[in-house]
Amino acid sequence: MKSPVRKGSLLSCMAALMLIMSGAALAVDAVDLSQSPEVSGVQEAARMPKQQERMALNYVNQPPMIPHSVDGYQVSTRTNRCLACHGVEHYRSTGAPRISPTHFMDSNGKVLSGVAPRRYFCLQCHVPQADAAPIVGNTFEPSKGFGQ
């Protein structure tokens, strides 16, 4: 049996949702970091060398950062440019690190024959490293023995 929904309450909810969404859109427009004096010039300062040394990890299980540019890399449901070098079939010939065995396990711990769907989109966790000043200051300290 369906519960009755009053038209007035449904319209009120929809109106409130529209107000929230428009407010969020205005907030996004209002915060333009590229115009901030603390951030201006970050794009120019964050030049990414074609190759650089891998950065040290700062905590246990941190996804390694990418030591090269990924501009133009395509990662979609049909293709993953990262696997052309880091995949099991190619890493030996390219000299790139092989993707972790954990990337072949599904959410239940079952080992799959290919990269698990939840680990397929590399750029969700792995980001290109760049020599740039932080946009926002922080007081993060690496775990003992890390970041060296």
Residue 90 annotated as binding site: no
3 state SS of 106: coil
Residue 125 annotated as binding site: yes
Residue 13 annotated as binding site: no
Specify whether the CB–CB gap between 121 and 133 falls below 8 A: no
Residue 68 annotated as binding site: yes
Distance CA 59, CA 46 (A): 23
3 state SS of 100: coil
Binding site for heme c, residues? 68, 82, 85-86, 103, 122, 125-126
Binding site, residues? 68, 82, 85-86, 103, 122, 125-126
